[in-house]
Amino acid sequence: MKAADIREKFLKFFESKGHTIVRSSSLVPGNDPTLLFVNSGMVQFKDVFLGTESRPYSRATTSQRSVRAGGKHNDLENVGYTARHHTFFEMLGNFSFGDYFKRDAIHYCWELLTKVYGLPADKLTVTVYQEDDEAFAIWENEIGVPKERIIRIGDNKGARYASDNFWTMGDTGPCGPCSEVFYDHGPEVWGGPPGSPEEDGDRFIEIWNLVFMQFNRDVQGNMTKLPKQSVDTGMGLERLAAVLQHVHSNYEIELFQTLIKAAARETATADLTNNSLKVIADH
Which stretches of the chain bind ligand SER, using CB under 6 A? 40-42, 93, 167, 209, 211, 232-234
153 has which bridge partners?
129
- Helix, strand, or coil (residue 77): helix
Q: How far is the CB of 270 from ligand SER (least distance, A)?
A: 34
Nearest C-alpha neighbor of 1 from the set 88, 101, 119, 131: 119
Beta bridge partners of 111: none
3-class DSSP state for residue 49?
A: helix
Q: At closest approach, how far in Å is the CB of 5 from ligand SER?
A: 22
Query: Which of residues 90 and 184 has its CB atom nearest to ligand SER in the complex?
Result: 90
Instruction: Quote the least distance from Cβ 258 to ligand SER, whole Å.
Output: 26
Which C-beta is closer to ligand SER: that of 174 or that of 191? 174
Residue 20: CB minimum distance to ligand SER, A: 17
For 75-112, letters b (16+ CB in 10 Å) and e give: beeeeeebbbbbeebbbbbbbbbbbbbbebbbebbbeb
CB-based contacts of 102, cutoff 8 Å, min separation 6: 134, 135, 138, 179, 210, 212, 231
Residue with nearest beta carbon to ligand SER: 234
- Distance of closest approach, residue 91 Cβ to ligand SER, in angstroms: 6
Please, what is the minimum distance in Å from the beta carbon of residue 275 to ligand SER?
35
Q: Which is nearer to ligand SER, 110 or 167 (CB)?
A: 167
State the sign of the Cα–Cα–Cα–Cα dihedral 115, 119, 120, 126.
negative
Instruction: Give the dihedral sign, CA 166/168/171/173.
Output: negative
- Looking at beta carbons only, is 68 or 257 nearer to ligand SER? 68
Q: Which is nearer to ligand SER, 41 or 177 (CB)?
A: 41
Instruction: Give whichever of 42 and 150 is closer to ligand SER, judged by the CB atom.
Output: 42
What is the DSSP code (8-state) at residue 19? P
The DSSP output letter for 44 is G
